[in-house]
Amino acid sequence: MYKDYQEFTKLNLKLDMSRGKPSPEQLDLALPLLNEAGISDQIKSSGTDCRNYGIQLGLPEVREFFASLLEVPKNQIVVDGSSSLALMHDVIAFALLYGTPGNSSWRSDKPISFLCPVPGYDRHFSILEAFGIKMINVPLLEDGPDMDVVESLVAKDDSIKGMWCVPKYSNPTGAVYSEEVVNRLASMNVAADDFRIFWDDAYHFHHLTEERIAIPNIIDICQAAGNSDRAIVFASTSKMTFAGSGLAMLASSVANVDWWQKCVSVRTIGPDKLNQLRHLLFFQNSVSVDSLMDQHRAILKPKFDIVDSVFEEYLGKIEGVSWSKPLGGYFIDLITPPGLAKRTIELAKNAGIILTPAGATFPYGLDPEDKHIRIAPSYPSLEEIKLAAEGVSLSLLQAIEEK
Amino acid sequence: MYKDYQEFTKLNLKLDMSRGKPSPEQLDLALPLLNEAGISDQIKSSGTDCRNYGIQLGLPEVREFFASLLEVPKNQIVVDGSSSLALMHDVIAFALLYGTPGNSSWRSDKPISFLCPVPGYDRHFSILEAFGIKMINVPLLEDGPDMDVVESLVAKDDSIKGMWCVPKYSNPTGAVYSEEVVNRLASMNVAADDFRIFWDDAYHFHHLTEERIAIPNIIDICQAAGNSDRAIVFASTSKMTFAGSGLAMLASSVANVDWWQKCVSVRTIGPDKLNQLRHLLFFQNSVSVDSLMDQHRAILKPKFDIVDSVFEEYLGKIEGVSWSKPLGGYFIDLITPPGLAKRTIELAKNAGIILTPAGATFPYGLDPEDKHIRIAPSYPSLEEIKLAAEGVSLSLLQAIEEK
C-alpha cells in the first residue's frame, strides 16, 4: 500500500483507462476468425455469392444465428455493418429525416427530447447532442431507470420521442433491469405515438460471474402489451470478436424492420457478407459462443476483482465513497463525495492515469453532483490495473484531503 | 442470326442484365484477399492494433495508398466502410441535418435541388428522391454535362446545393469529362455558398481499352479556382475486389474532411481496419493494381465487344437506333427511337431477359423521350451476353414493328 498520492506520482505512470476497450489477450481469442481457411470454399450462402452485391438485411443464416442467440424472430433481425452505435445513430437520423412508420419526421414540428437514465453511455448522449435533441436525466437505480419518473414524464409530454436503455450490465453502473421495470417500460402510457426505446443490449453475453443473467425479451413484452413498435434492440460482437471489425445487429417489430430496410436500401446495396460468413464459421453455435465468452470472463474477472479489492483496501472505510460491483459488462462506477470527481480525475491524470472525463456519463458532460468516475478495467494488464486502481484511490483520498 | 422475336422467345431464357454486377470470374481475381495467411502477424499498423476500436479516418497506410492512386493529398482522404454510395448518402444526410462547414442546414429555409446530368446513375437519384430534394435534369454530352446549361442554372438559383458527376466512363453512357468541362465546373460562379459537386469516381480504374484515360484532378482544380470546398470525390474497390466487402473512400478539401470527421465521429468509433489491412496486403502497389485491372478488362472487354457486334448485326442499319461504345466502366446506353424503350424492355422480359427498368437512368424514373435502355454486360457469361444482346435487339425490332 502506498503511503500517499505524492509517493504514487513518483512512479511516472502512463495508463489509459478512459474507454472500455478489449485487451490484446481478449482479441487473441478471436484470432481464428482471421484464418480464412475454408472460407473460399464457402463463399456461397443460400445460393448467394457473398462476394457480390445484395442481401440488404444480412445473410439469412447469420440473421437466424443471432436471432436464436438474442431470442428474437429471425425475420425481425437485421445484421448490418460492424457498429451498433452506427445503427442507433442511423435510426435517429432516419426518424429525423423521414419520420417513423406512419408518423411525420421527428423534426417536423417542435423540438424533441429523449429520456436519458443517468449515469449512462457517453456516446449515446453525443448523438443526441449533435442532433440538437434535448436530453432529460432520469435516475438509474439498481434495477433500471426510476420508473415512476419515466412514466410520469412520457405520459404527458409528446415531445419525448425516445429513451436510451442499456438493460443488462449497464454502462457504467452495471445495473440489470428487473422484470418489473421491463414490463413497465413495455406497457406504460406514452403521449408520443412515435416513442421508441433504444434498447442497447451491448453486454448481452458479457457476464462476469458464472450466472448468465437473462432478462425478459423486450420485443415480446412490447408486442404482448400492444406496443410492438416501441422497442428497437441493438447488439454487436465488438467485444466478442474484434472491436470495429465485428458484426452489428438491430431487432424490432416487423414494421420497424421494414421501415429500416426501406431507409437503408437508399444508402447501400448491402452489408459486408464475407465478414458475416467469417463470423458464422467462427462462432459455430451457441455452445461455442458461451465457451468463448467464458474465456473472455476468465481474462476480465481478475481485473474487476483487483479494482474492487484495491478500492476496498484504500477506500472501504471512507465516508461517502462507494463503487459498483457489476455482474457483467465493462465498467465500474466509482462514486466520490459530491464535488470531487473532477478533481480526482485531474489528480489521477497528473499521476499518469487517464480516466474517462468527469461528467462524461451524463448528458452535456454535466454530472450535477460531480461524483461519478467511470473505471474501465478491460484493456490494461492486471498489473497495470492494480497500479491504476491504487492511483485512483490515492487521487481521491488526496482530493478529499484538499477539501 | 435469329429470324425474329417470336423465334427467340422459344429459347425460354432467364437472364438478368439489370445491374452492373461483377461476374464470378472477376470475383475470383480477388480470392487471395480471402487468404489471410500472414495477416495475423501484421495486425498492428502504425502501432495500432487493427483489431480494436479507433482510427476514425482509416489506417494511415491505407489512406496514403489510395491518396497516391487517386492523386489526392494523403491528409485529405477518408477510407471508411465498404460502400461509396453510403458515403455519398451520409454527406447529404449530414448536410441536411447539420449543414456544411460555415453554412446552415440544407433544410433550414426553403426546398433545395440538385443538378442531375442525364442519363445517370439510378441510385444517385434514389437518395435525392428519398430526401425530397428536387432533381433538375441537365443533358449529359459526350464530354460531360452541358456546361452552358449548368452554368446558367447554378449562377442564379441558390436553392441548387449539389450536382452529381460520374466523370469517367459515366454510368450509363460511358461519357468522359473533358478538361474544359472539369475546369468550368471548378471555376463557375455559383449562387449557393454551400454548393457541392458529388464526384463519383466509380470507374477510375475500370478501363476497357489499353489506354488508361486520366482526367484532371477536380480537387486540385477547385482549389486553384479558389473553390476548394466545392468538390467531394468518392471511390471504392467494389468492382476491384469484392462488391459489398471492399473499401470505400472520400476525398475533398481539408475543411470538408474535418467536417466529415466531426459528423462521423458521433456515428461510429472507427471503420473495419482489418478489411483495410487485408486490402493493403492484397493490392501491394500501383503496378499490381494496374495488373489486376488488366485482368478485369480481359474478362469484361469481350462481353462489351459481343454486345456491340450483335447490335451492329441486328440494329446497325435501323434508323433512330444507336448505342454508346464506352472506353471503360460497366454499361452501354442503347438508344431507341422515341417512345420504345419501355416496350422493348417489356418484350425482352417476356423473352426471359431482365433489363434495368425503363426510365431508371433518369430522376423519378422518367425518361422524357422513353428511349434509353441501360445494358449491363458484366455479370452473365459471354454466351449468355450474346443471347441477351440478340434478345434485346429482336425485342427492339419487334417494338419498332408494332409501332
Q: How many CB atoms lie within 10 A of CB A1?
A: 8
Chain B residues touching A263 at Cβ < 8 A: 130
- pLDDT tens digit string along A335-361? 999 999 999 999 999 999 999 999 999
- pLDDT tens digit string along B330-362? 999 999 999 999 999 999 999 999 999 999 999
DSSP A138: E
Over range A248-273, report the average pLDDT. Answer: 96
Kindly state the percentage of chain B with pLDDT values over 90: 78
User: B114 near B134, Cβ under 8 Å?
Assistant: yes
B357 is written with which cell numbers?
Answer: 427498368
The yes-or-no verdict on residue A35 having pLDDT over 60 is no
Per-residue pLDDT band at A38 (split at 50, 70, 90): low
Which of A269, A277, A356 has the highest number of chain B CBs within 10 A, making it the mutation to test binding with B? Answer: A269
Per-residue pLDDT band at A104 (split at 50, 70, 90): confident
Q: What is the distance between the alpha carbons of residues A300 and B257, in angstroms, rounded to a whole number?
A: 38
- pLDDT tens digit string along B289-340? 999 999 999 999 999 999 999 999 999 999 999 999 999 999 999 999 999 9
User: A171 near A121, Cβ under 8 Å?
Assistant: yes
Which of B268, B279, B296, B356 has the highest number of chain A CBs within 10 A, making it the mutation to test binding with A? Answer: B268
Beta bridge partners of B236: B248
The yes-or-no verdict on residue A37 having pLDDT over 70 is no
Closest Cβ–Cβ partner in B19, B36, B54 for A35: B36
The yes-or-no verdict on residue A263 having pLDDT over 50 is yes
- pLDDT tens digit string along A196-229? 999 999 999 999 999 999 999 999 999 999 999 9
Q: How does the average pLDDT of chain B come out, rounded?
A: 92
**What sign does the dihedral A50-A51-A53-A58 (CA atoms) show?**
positive
Per-residue pLDDT, A34: 57
State how far residue B124 is from chain A, nearest Cα, in angstroms: 9
Amino acid at B140: L
Cα–Cα distances in Å, from A358 out to A108, A176, A352, A354, A379?
35, 23, 16, 11, 20
Angle at B98 between CA A82 and CA B71, to 5 degrees: 65
User: A1 near A218, Cβ under 8 Å?
Assistant: no
How would you label A88-125 residue by residue, b for 16+ Cβ within 10 Å and e otherwise?
Answer: bbbbbbbbbbbbbeebebbbeeeebbbbbbbbbbbbbb
Residue of A nearest to B30 (CA): A51
User: B269 near B259, Cβ under 8 Å?
Assistant: no
Q: What is the distance between the alpha carbons of residues B81 and B234, in angstroms, rounded to a whole number?
A: 12
Per-residue pLDDT, B37: 42
Cα–Cα distances in Å, from A173 out to A23, A169, A221, A330?
20, 7, 25, 9
Per-residue pLDDT band at B251 (split at 50, 70, 90): very high
| B55 Rama class: left (phi>0) / alpha (psi -120 to 50) / beta | left
Beta bridge partners of A115: A136, A163
Kindly state the percentage of chain B with pLDDT values over 70: 94
Q: What is the dihedral of CA A112, A118, A123, A128, to 10 degrees?
A: 10
State how far residue A386 is from chain B, nearest Cα, in angstroms: 23
Residue with grid cell 439489370, as numbered in its chain:
B18
The yes-or-no verdict on residue B239 having pLDDT over 60 is yes
More confident residue, A153 or A103: A153
The yes-or-no verdict on residue A40 having pLDDT over 70 is no
Per-residue pLDDT, A108: 72
Q: In chain A, what are the domain boundaries? A: 5-20+289-402, 36-283
DSSP B328: B
The yes-or-no verdict on residue A70 having pLDDT over 90 is yes
Per-residue pLDDT, B39: 64
B21 is written with which cell numbers?
Answer: 454486377
Residue of A nearest to B379 (CA): A52
The yes-or-no verdict on residue A191 having pLDDT over 70 is yes
Per-residue pLDDT, B31: 60
Q: How many CB atoms lie within 10 A of CB B320?
A: 12
Q: What is the distance between the alpha carbons of residues B90 and B234, in angstroms, rounded to a whole number?
A: 12
The yes-or-no verdict on residue B35 having pLDDT over 60 is no
Over range A163-186, report the average pLDDT. Answer: 97
CB contact under 8 A, A266 and B54: no
Tell me the helices (H) and strands (E) count for chain A, helix number first.
13, 15
Closest Cβ–Cβ partner in B51, B267, B269 for A27: B51
Per-residue pLDDT, A33: 60
- pLDDT tens digit string along B269-287? 999 998 998 888 888 899 9
CB contact under 8 A, B272 and A49: no
More confident residue, B20 or A365: A365
Per-residue pLDDT, B86: 98
Per-residue pLDDT, B4: 81
Closest Cβ–Cβ partner in A52, A89, A243 for B53: A243
Per-residue pLDDT, A271: 95
Q: What is the distance between the alpha carbons of residues B144 and B168, in angstroms, rounded to a whole number?
A: 9
User: A322 near A335, Cβ under 8 Å?
Assistant: yes
Cα–Cα distances in Å, from B19 out to A154, A214, B331, B347?
47, 45, 9, 18
Cα–Cα distances in Å, from A124 out to A241, A247, A300, A357, B206?
22, 19, 24, 15, 41
- pLDDT tens digit string along A222-232? 999 999 999 99
Closest Cβ–Cβ partner in A50, A83, A244 for B273: A244
Q: What is the distance between the alpha carbons of residues B161 and B65, in angstroms, rounded to a whole number?
A: 31
Chain B residues touching A131 at Cβ < 8 A: 97
The yes-or-no verdict on residue A42 having pLDDT over 80 is no
Kindly state the percentage of chain A with pLDDT values over 90: 78
Per-residue pLDDT, B20: 65
More confident residue, A193 or A53: A193
Per-residue pLDDT, A3: 83
HSE-CB for B298 with a 13 A CA cutoff:
8
Residue of A nearest to B105 (CA): A131
Closest Cβ–Cβ partner in A49, A93, A244 for B270: A244
Give the least confident one: B20-24, B166-170, B378-382, B383-387.
Answer: B20-24
Per-residue pLDDT band at A7 (split at 50, 70, 90): confident
Maximum average pLDDT range among A19-33, A37-51, A284-298, B81-95? B81-95
B218 is written with which cell numbers?
Answer: 477536380
A153 is written with which cell numbers?
Answer: 414524464
Per-residue pLDDT band at B5 (split at 50, 70, 90): confident
The yes-or-no verdict on residue A73 having pLDDT over 60 is yes
Beta bridge partners of A250: A78, A234
Q: Which strand ranges, in their side-by-side order, compose the sheet holding B322-323?
A: B322-323, B332-335, B372-375
Chain A residues touching B271 at Cβ < 8 A: 82, 244
> Residue A236: what are its φ and ψ, rounded to 5°?
-155, 165
More confident residue, B238 or B43: B238
A61 is written with which cell numbers?
Answer: 443464416
Over range A270-298, report the average pLDDT. Answer: 90
Question: Strand A160-165 to strand A144-145: parallel, antiparallel, or no bridges (unpaired)?
Answer: unpaired
Q: How many residues does chain A have?
A: 403
The yes-or-no verdict on residue A246 having pLDDT over 80 is yes
Q: B39-283 sits in which CATH class?
A: alpha beta
State how far residue B360 is from chain A, nearest Cα, in angstroms: 14
Nearest to B240 by CA among B211, B273, B287, B282: B282
A52 is written with which cell numbers?
Answer: 457480390
- pLDDT tens digit string along A382-402? 888 999 999 999 999 999 999
Nearest to B81 by CA among B73, B89, B72: B89
Nearest to A371 by CA among A403, A398, A345, A402: A345
The yes-or-no verdict on residue B6 having pLDDT over 60 is yes
Q: What is the DSSP string of B227-254?
A: -TTSEEEEEESTTTS-TTSS-EEEE--H
Q: What is the DSSP string of A22-55?
A: PPHHHHHTTGGGG--TTGGG--EETTEETTSS--
Per-residue pLDDT band at A47 (split at 50, 70, 90): confident
Over range A179-197, report the average pLDDT. Answer: 97
Chain A residues touching B263 at Cβ < 8 A: 130
Closest Cβ–Cβ partner in A34, A98, A131 for B36: A34
Any residues with CB less than 8 A from the CB of A347 and at least 6 apart, and which?
Answer: A5, A395, A396, A398, A399
Query: Under CATH, domain A5-20+289-402 is a member of which superfamily?
Result: Aspartate Aminotransferase, domain 1 (3.90.1150.10)
Q: A36-283 sits in which CATH class?
A: alpha beta
Q: What is the distance between the alpha carbons of residues A228 and A255, in angstroms, rounded to a whole number?
A: 9
